[in-house]
Structure 1
């Protein structure tokens, strides 16, 4: 799992209590979005910030001479069925940034789906990713036709996602020049991480486990597939939502990167058994060797004495990154309630996942630790209830100050 989808799988729209729809702000603003280059000249649409992802089909309707329009219903269905945990974040985000982040997610999920389709030969997947990277950069690198890849998808949503890749790419033309540059940068970085991952684990399998070599490789990987998303998110929200706010921008970007890296590291630690079965070990070989461990026997009961201290060290690192994410969340202007909630939920659920992982032995890790639906509801409701009271709000991540001091 890479890129935007680094939040616990427990956090999804299906986990809302009946009738619960986050809507912390009732104010409405309007903006005009023109059509793409292929659209009818002069047509503009009035969009309301509070329509969330049930907005009028006019938002995502693109007319191009070479493809069918991509309607709002199609886009929203794709986001709801493929975004899973990230869909909640999209629902709560302000309208000024929702379209850009939603589109970046769809395209990143498209590349992720291609990279993960193991039944397709490696060379073909790499070629498809290279084609998409070129198109992200604006190069007319040939038609985007992934119907052959789509036929191998078990998920109907991912099948449609690949079939509509060309139409999704056309939506880039709706973005401003500044937003387009940010979206391009994050997608190219994510794609580079996916390509590196495919090459690194080429030929790996249950009987032949490959591991990252060094801590630097792990840091590079978590930046490429998640840290860069924090950087993108920060720059986009800064430009559209609080451009005049007085804050340390360099520190905010750095914390945004750590935020993303922390979420990805939580996923790596949670998914360790499944990755090992697929021949992938994201814990660096040099650290394993120093602890007297090897990827092939990492989770053996007899190695628990060596494995658990190493594993808990990585949990400490992930928690420190999430503490930076909590600092990031609280650095954002208090008036940006939607963005702060969208950041707080993955931080708090990631921290809860870490708590569960700390209490698991190698055998329990095989069952894949998850935050329960009840716990998700509790995090959502407590965050909403405590938001007007900063002291209570900050206590939701009580160890943040201590962890940041240690980091």
Structure 2
């Protein structure tokens, strides 16, 4: 890819400061602050891209066709960026793409994941569709991130696959009610049927105490992905791995807390408080 195209600094993105404020105090921001500046800025650029396309997907105030066109504009801007032409809104990604060899296919996969939410609200997708969604919206971000971390190809792809899916399944289990409020239900149909639930209506499913059984099976899958990621990280592959170690520590703790609280109605949203987050940061720092 040419480094041309009139690259803009991330600070020129109108939402940049709001994004920084939004993630301050989060595990993501804590992980980024521990990274060298060049890698930190690249990661924030990736996050800013993901946040902007996700906001398009979640903007229920606009027609689906309009949101689909907005995602197509991002595809066109990325094509221009990788062709060395003026890249519009994607120009702020130029330094990260140039410095770390980020792949266009991974950015496009993220957009394709957002397009799944734009085409229709996902409601009890089948297992294959859910896995494809997780690969696009989470593992593709991991593939971008592991290149910033300086990992070699094979372990980087493996970590992106396992940790990405673990994080996304944990998000799904944490955000059940928030997703239902906008008409979405990511619990797979097969697990709901195994629990005796035939409906795909979010409100109906989440009001049914049997949803607990489906959630516990999905939590078990997330735990297996976390375990696979942990085995890989314990093998000390090459790279700057403090950030993924911290994300794994925080989200696996969140999953354990959710298991203890359960998913039967009424649910409460489980959070990792700041003192505990700081303790996890310190532990990961000492174990690096």
Q: What's the TM-score, normalizing by structure 1?
A: 0.61
Once the two structures are superposed, the pairs formed by residues 211-226 of structure 1 within 5 Å of their partners are 211-226=123-138
1:318 deviates by 0.7
Corresponding residue of 2:206: 299
Structure 1 position 264, deviation (Å):
0.7
- Partner of residue 230 from structure 1, selected from 131, 142, 148: 142
Question: Pick from 32, 35, 44: which aligns with 1:90?
Answer: 32
**Which residue of the partner structure matches residue 194 of structure 2?**
290
* More divergent stretch after superposition (117-126 vs 286-295): 286-295
Q: How far apart, CA to CA, are the structure 2 residues paired with 1:197 and 1:38? A: 32
- TM-score normalised by structure 2 residue count: 0.83
The Cα shift of 1:169 comes to 2.1
Shift in alpha-carbon separation, 1:331–1:77, aligned structure 2, 3 A: farther
Q: Tell me the alpha carbon deviations over residues 206-250 of structure 1, each in whole angstroms, 9 at most, x when there is no partner.
A: xxxx52331111111111000111222223433xxx66xxxxx43
Q: Relative to 1, partners in 2 of residues 1:254 and 1:173: Cα closer, same or farther, differing over 3 Å?
A: closer
Cα distance in structure 1, aligned partners of 2:277 and 2:236: 23
Stretch of structure 1 that moved more, 351-360 or 321-330:
321-330
Q: Distance in 1 between matches of 2:16 and 2:64?
A: 31
Distance 1:118 1:180, change over 3 A: farther
Q: Which residue of 2 aligns with 1:114?
A: 56
Q: Does 1:387 align with 2:283?
A: no
Q: Greater shift after overlay, 84-93 or 278-287?
A: 84-93
User: Which has the larger share of helix?
Assistant: 2
Shift, 1:93, TM fit: 1.9
**CA 193–75 in structure 1, closer or farther in 2 if over 3 Å, else same:** closer
Partner of 1:169: 90
CA distance in 1 between partners of 2:169 and 2:148 (Å): 24
2:96 and 2:124 mapped to 1: Cα distance? 37
The 2-side partners of 1:178 and 1:377 are apart by 30
Whether 2:270 is the aligned partner of 1:369: answer yes
- Rate the CA distance shift 1:76–1:195 in 2: closer, same or farther, 3 A: closer
Q: Which moved more, 1:351-360 or 1:79-88?
A: 79-88
* CA deviations over 1:55-89 (Å, ceiling 9, x no partner): xxxxx659xxxxxx928xx7862441244433223
* Residue aligned with 1:359, SS: helix
Cross-structure match for 1:128: 70
Q: CA deviation at 1:37?
A: 4.7
Tell me whether 1:189 sits opposite 2:89 in the alignment.
no
Distance of aligned partners of 1:255 and 1:326 in 2 relative to their CA distance in 1, 3 Å threshold: same
SS in 1 for 2:265: helix
Report deviation, 1:196: 1.3
1:251-266 aligned within 5 A: 251-266=155-170
Structure 1 residues 339-348 or 218-227, which shifts more? 339-348
Superposed CA RMSD in Å reads 3.1
Q: Which moved more, 1:264-273 or 1:110-119?
A: 110-119
Q: In the alignment, what sits opposite 2:79?
A: 137
Instruction: Give the direction of change, closer, same or farther, for the CA distance of 1:181–1:373 in structure 2 (3 Å limit).
Output: closer
- 2:223 matched residue in structure 1: 319
* Cα shift readout 1:276-306 (whole Å, capped 9, x = no counterpart): 2322110122321232113443233xx43x3
8 Å contact from structure 2 (residues 57, 67) kept in 1: yes
Unmatched segments (≥5 aa) in structure 1? 1-34, 40-59, 63-68, 145-164, 202-209, 244-248, 389-407
Would you say the 8 A contact 1:341–1:383 is kept in 2?
yes
What is the aligned residue count?
278
Given the superposition, is the C-alpha separation of residues 110 and 290 from structure 1 closer, same or farther in structure 2, using an over 3 Å criterion?
Answer: same
Q: Distance in 1 between matches of 2:98 and 2:156?
A: 23
